[in-house]
Chain A
Amino acid sequence: MRTNYRINSGVRFEMLSRDQLEEMYNGVLHVLDHIGLDVHHDEARDILKNAGARVDGIRVRIPRHLMKKALSTAPRSFTIYSRDNNPKHDIHIGPGRAHFGPGPTPPNFIDIETLERRPFVKDDARIVATVCDALENIDFCESLGTISDVHPDLAASYEFATMFPCTSKPIVAWSYAWDDSADIHKIAVAEAGGQEAFEKRPNYVHYCEPLSPLVSTFEAVDKVIFAARHGVPVIFTTCALAGGTAPVTPAGIIIQTTAESFMGLMLAQTIRPGLPFFMGGVLSVMDMSAMILTYGAPELSLMMAGATELAHYCGIPLWQTGGCTDSKCLDEQASLEGSISVFFSALTGGDLCHDVGYTESGMTGSILQTVMMNDAIGFSRRITRGIEVNEDTLAVDVIHDVGPDGHYLYQQHTMRHFKTEFWYPKLCDRHNFEEWEAEGKKPMRDRVVERTREIVNTHKPAPVKPETEKVIKQVMAAAEDRVKNK
């Protein structure tokens, strides 16, 4: 029996105090109540107005009490399910749980055979999904590209139809509009066994991106309405540039992007109270020399950490960002920027950390970067798991048994713990020099490429149901028919 004994089993990271967070939260409510956002969607404005928002033209302002009510119905903890009932692939959203995955829609991709940058094609979606399915530290899947070799309106539908059979990890789907959102949903629902079954065990998340500063675009809002009406967990995330489309200060950009995200939350919770919702923001700096949205900046990690703390303060999960880089290839810069941001993201416990595999400031997807970051995530997770302290781990008895001048290799205690206490890298090399030399003196990047190709050639993801395969064919045939004259 113990009294007032405190346990910290993991590494603690905390930046902002509750007082500071309350001040920021107050700033968000002020923006929504007094400045408001432009909402480019007639029906959405009607829904918001009926809920009590003040609508003036396209400007929508949300009174504080209304925003607080919407926040109260959005869950902090829930599960996104694997499509094949594989509990290892379920994602449990909740305190202290950071999950990782790639990001959506860069135009280019690094070809895993030629290692050259080229437009993203349909088969790349298969490669990315297959590799994500196999990587032990990647929890959800996105494609890392916009498919360029199909009808442009069907890029998102083909992406989902291609990835879904290649991974049973939950997919974060994006789409252009209502029609392709429906394509995606039909496929997911077929596998789940109907709409009702899907609502009990949602197997994908929908991604919507409004605009900074303070604009809810028609497409982003339309997709939130679709997701809410169909019970699809939803992400509403702007991609803001500090100093360009948002205030230059971290506190300022966090307040603005949170307000932007809350407009989506307000709409989603009004249509379907209780719908799982992820607060967004890709927050980074506009590099004032290169004029790019920087994906390898320390400020990105810092701002995302602040946003994570604010989201958690408000009782909702966050769409985090990390594992990305401004580098153009798999090099030291890619490793440095990716690894540090992944570690920082893991520390914050931000709930779904995306863009693992973004390179060239979001212009090029690289599954090679994702594979390298898989090791960085494993590394980070071992650290954030922390140190367990109890009678067994203190090992006083074992120290007694071994005594001076002994060794621990024969100890049951060692046998019981060494596989879980130690993390083993897949790609970081720990051989001695001669062994490394005998293996061909390979640098990390060569091992990354080899592992990626090996996974693509050998990994067999759990298949979808035969009826789902049929539905995929039907859905895509109908989609082609829909756009044939466009």
Chain B
Amino acid sequence: MSQILEQIATGIIKGDLQGVPQLVQKALDEGLDAQQIVQNGLIVGMGEVGKRFKVGEMFIPEVLLSAKTMHSGQELLRPLLAESGAAHYGKILMGTVKGDLHDIGKNLVGMMCEGAGFDVIDLGFDLEPEVFIEGIKTHQPDIVGMSALLTTTMRAMGHTIKAMEEAGLRDKVKVMVGGAPVDADFADRIGADGYGHNAVSGADTAKKLLGTG
């Protein structure tokens, strides 16, 4: 393994937001290809972050910084990856459902998913089902993620899934849901494909849904 890839992985773990893009550029200048940098640098670092989080050695603010760092490195490589036709990690459209202004949980999931390599389109909060429908049509995501914090608004996730069915879009996307009052049973009942109990498990769920995790 080249030294620069190790440095990139370490930079991800440390959350070195300034240093990692520079290292990625340096790696490109040294002639490494984009795919190699992602697989053997960025993803190796993020994998270690996930492990450390699970055993309680890293905490959410640190994990989020690592995810942001990963994302900044990836941005640099994106055009090159697209050129080479390399693996596409998937696009996630997400938002907090109608009646709910809470969006910190959804934002955390979004950041984690970006850190995991996904393209994330955040529609915002208090979203009518129609906004999700329009979003699906416009962005053609692989996954739609919905969030609600309130027991009163979690019902709107079911309504939104229904609206997707009526619009004939339900088969085109995987649906994942989350938020404090949501559990796996509820996700099943409303016909979602996946459920994450927190931001990290949300990103894992997304990977599983697309068969990449």
Contact = CB atoms under 8 A, between A and B. Distances in A.
Interface string A244-259: 1100000000000000
Interface string A225-251: 000000000000000010111000000
Contact of A289 (B56, B152, B155): B56
A288 B61 contact: yes
Contacts of A290: 198
A468 interface: no
A420 B92 CA distance: 65
A471 B121 CA distance: 51
B85 to A, nearest CB: 37
B101 A40 contact: yes
Size category of the binding interface on chain B: 10 to 19
Interface in B45-75: 53, 56, 59-61
A286 B60 CA distance: 10
Contact of A107 (B102, B151, B199): B151
A293 B102 CA distance: 14
A244 B103 CA distance: 11
A244 B199 CA distance: 13
Interface string B177-199: 00011000000000000000011
Contact of A291 (B101, B151, B199): B199
A217 B101 contact: yes
A244 B53 CA distance: 18
B163 to A, nearest CB: 16
B101 A244 contact: no
Contacts of A107: 151, 181
Contacts of B123: none
Interface string B57-101: 001110000000000000000000000000000000000000001
A243 B155 CA distance: 28
Contacts of B200: 291
A241 B105 CA distance: 12
Contact of B155 (A152, A211, A245, A293): A152
A291 B60 CA distance: 8
Contacts of A244: 104
A186 B179 CA distance: 34
Contacts of B56: 289
A374 interface: no
Contact of B180 (A152, A217, A363): A363
Interface in B135-174: 151-152, 155
A107 B155 CA distance: 13
B181 A211 contact: no
B102 A211 contact: yes
A291 B155 contact: no
Contact of B60 (A105, A245, A289): A289
A297 to B, nearest CB: 15
Nearest to A145: B151
Contacts of B181: 107, 363
B75 to A, nearest CB: 26
A286 B199 CA distance: 13
A211 B101 contact: yes
A152 B152 contact: yes
Size class of the A contact interface (CB-based, 8 Å): 20 to 34
Given A288-B59, A288-B61, A245 B151 contact: no
Contact of B61 (A215, A243, A245): A243
A38 B14 CA distance: 36
A379 interface: no
Contacts of A293: 180
A292 B200 CA distance: 13
A243 B102 CA distance: 15
A146 interface: yes
A271 B61 CA distance: 42
A217 B198 CA distance: 25
A176 B101 contact: no
A146 B181 CA distance: 11
Contacts of B155: 152
B199 A245 contact: no
B84 to A, nearest CB: 36
Contacts of A288: 59-61
Nearest to A40: B101
Nearest to A148: B151
A288 B59 CA distance: 5
A290 B56 CA distance: 9
Contacts of B60: 286, 288-289, 291
Nearest to A215: B101
A77 B152 CA distance: 34
Nearest to B186: A107
Most buried by B among A217, A288, A289, A293: A289
A443 to B, nearest CB: 30
B152 A176 contact: yes
Interface string B95-125: 0000001101000100000000000000000
A293 B198 CA distance: 12
Contact of A245 (B104, B180, B198): B104
Contacts of B53: 289
Nearest to A362: B180
- The 7 A-B pairs at the shortest CB distance, nearest first, are namely A288-B59, A291-B198, A288-B60, A146-B151, A107-B181, A107-B151, A211-B101
7 contacts: A107-B181, A211-B102, A288-B60, A288-B61, A289-B56, A363-B180, A363-B181
Given A40-B101, A152-B155, A292-B180, 10 more contacts: A107-B151, A215-B101, A217-B101, A241-B104, A288-B59, A289-B56, A289-B60, A291-B108, A291-B199, A291-B200
Interface of A: 40, 105, 107, 146, 152, 176, 211, 215, 217, 241, 243-245, 286, 288-293, 363
